[in-house]
Structure 1
Amino acid sequence: MTETAAPRYTLWQLVRYALALGTWGFGGPVALVGYMYRDLVERRGWISEADYKEGMTLAQLMPGPLAAQLAIYLGYVHYRVRGATLVGLAFVLPSFLMVVALGAVYMAYGGIGWMQAVFYGVGAAVIGIIVMSAYKLTTKNIGKDRLLWAIFLVSAAVTVITKSEIIWLFLGAGILVWLLRAPPKRWSKGRLNGIAIAAPIGAAALAAAVDWHQLLEIGAFFAYAGSFVFGSGLAIVPFLYGGVVQEHHWLSDRQFVDAVAVAMITPGPVVITTGFIGYIVAGLWGAVVAAAGTFLPCYLFTILPAPYFKKHGKRPGTVAFVDGVTAAAIGAITGAAIVIGQRTLTDWVTAVLAIVTVAVLWRFKKVPEPVIVLVAALIGLVAYPLMAHA
């Protein structure tokens, strides 16, 4: 086993980075994990390639929001539970405060019509950002490896066809590469994995222990969503729709669509839409309980298995498994870009915006994404009314 090298950064520096990413990081989980790779692995060298890939694997295998889990794991790498906790809070808090503020405005003024215009532009730019993130991850992690390319293509195709991410595909890819490239000489004990999965499920139920009946319902539902829904970003949306609109009747169809729009036009993790939904249902405490119910399970699902990943992450079998899962994950990210693009690029204006975004990011590598998002939002405000009446 190789020990993790001493950190080249302080915990406060990483927390400040997570706070900034949570404040300015547009584009959803696919773009956010790309930013973390670019900033923490490539540019600053704070996190090693191996640690990043281990974090991506853990985030893909465990249920919950991908970007938040990766951020929590990266906080764990050198600063253990304290780092995971502070980085996770710093990453989620800015977008939570934003959706609560938007929820207050929404309830006060009866809807947010201008959001459609903003999302019209921002959504198209986000597709361009996701495409560039997927390209960078693909070239860096897969290269010319034929086996990993095959896994990548299968994963991308399955994601496009099913419009969801399938956990068994990630596991199967990891096991395939493991068996082909570093077959085990003997089977190791598997008790820890059972504990790592069972413990957070029990702990997640505690997140719903609220006296008020409505808050209890909200907490229980979102803790369940955070504990058992695999997939990232918009993959959780159909599950939320079934519970929030069809089962509990907390929101109307229009309110739910507005909630998803809020999540997409605010930075940070897309699943922070749960905070907005909670606010509409039960005000500030509803937002707090819904967000906590969603993120507490993913926090526990990350820090409990993390010691195992740190201890065994450098073994050849684990490295091979991680390579396979990473290839499948990047394929799913690429497939997700296609799925979201089909829903977002609805006319020639949005298509051009996405292409221009890719071109700008390709040509001018230091252009900050928030600037692109802001310009796209302004274009959306102008172009959407014109296209709607065309």
Structure 2
Amino acid sequence: MKLTDLVALASFFSTLSILSIGGSNSVVPEMARHAVREQHWLTSNAFADVFAISQAAPGPSNLIVAMIGYKVAGIAGAVVAQAAMMVPAGLLMILVARVWQRTSASGWHIALERALGPIAVGLILASGCIIAENAGFSYRGYAAVSLCTLLFWRTKLNPLPVLAGAGFLGWTGLI
């Protein structure tokens, strides 16, 4: 573990923290670009694996941050990366919440609220595309994800059987 690695992790993830509109999954494309292409902390396949594990494991949705930090600088890296991802956004949220409550009826508040929804959805959609690309999806894989998304969006279907079925099809190589 080097001090420069810890500083790099803190600098990168604290910046991402402030940009993570809609949650940490909205900055996964930038996380992948930086961790895989710029810093070479992970390969693209390893990034996809780490993302999958972090989403399946219990805990915060940004567990991927700690896993990347661990890969770079062990336990200290995991702690620094996770703190850098959570503290700046948390402090910003506290400050913004005070203003947000006082201005809830103003026109700019309503306009900003309406604008942030599509931005968050777009960022999360970009994250899904990056993860699919790093996982080596085929066109059949994209079709399966699209079908599952439509099923979850338009029905009240329990996702577990659908995910189990999609997992089985992926395991058999059909998608």
TM-score surpassing 0.5? yes
Per the alignment, residue 84 of structure 1 pairs with 78
How big is the shift at 1:11? 2.5
Distance 2:41 2:158 in 1: 29
1:26 aligns with 2:26: no
Distance 1:74 1:50 in 2: 13
How big is the shift at 1:118? 1.1
Q: Which has the larger radius of gyration?
A: 1
Q: CA 1:110–1:153 in structure 2 vs 1: closer, same or farther (change >3 Å)?
A: closer
Per the alignment, residue 10 of structure 1 pairs with 5
1:121 aligns with 2:120: no
Distance 2:96 2:22 in 1: 18
Distance 2:158 2:14 in 1: 28
How big is the shift at 1:152? 2.1
Per the alignment, residue 94 of structure 1 pairs with 88
Letter in 2 for 1:44: Q
1:156 aligns with 2:128: no
Letter in 2 for 1:41: V
How big is the shift at 1:96? 0.7
Contact 2:5 2:72 (8 Å CA) reproduced? no
Aligned match for 1:37, one of 32, 38, 57: 32
How big is the shift at 1:140? 4.1
Contact 1:142 1:149 (8 Å CA) reproduced? no
Aligned CA-pair RMSD? 3.5
Distance 1:92 1:28 in 2: 10
1:74 aligns with 2:64: no
How big is the shift at 1:176? 4.9
Distance 1:162 1:29 in 2: 26
Per the alignment, residue 52 of structure 2 pairs with 57
How big is the shift at 1:93? 0.8
Letter in 2 for 1:161: R
Q: Deviations over 1:79-121 (max 9, x none)?
A: 33322222111101111101211233356x3746332211223
Query: In the TM superposition, what are the counterparts of 1:152-301 in structure 2 within 5 Å?
Result: 152-162=145-155, 166=159, 169-170=162-163, 173-174=166-167, 176-178=169-171, 180=172
How big is the shift at 1:18? 0.6
Distance 1:21 1:29 in 2: 8
Secondary structure, aligned partner of 1:31: helix
For structure 1, the 5+ residue unaligned runs are 1-5, 182-326, 328-390
Distance 1:129 1:111 in 2: 25
Per the alignment, residue 138 of structure 1 pairs with 132
Distance 2:157 2:57 in 1: 15
Matched pairs, number: 173
Q: CA 1:41–1:112 in structure 2 vs 1: closer, same or farther (change >3 Å)?
A: farther
Letter in 2 for 1:156: T
How big is the shift at 1:20? 0.8
Distance 2:87 2:26 in 1: 18
Distance 1:165 1:71 in 2: 29
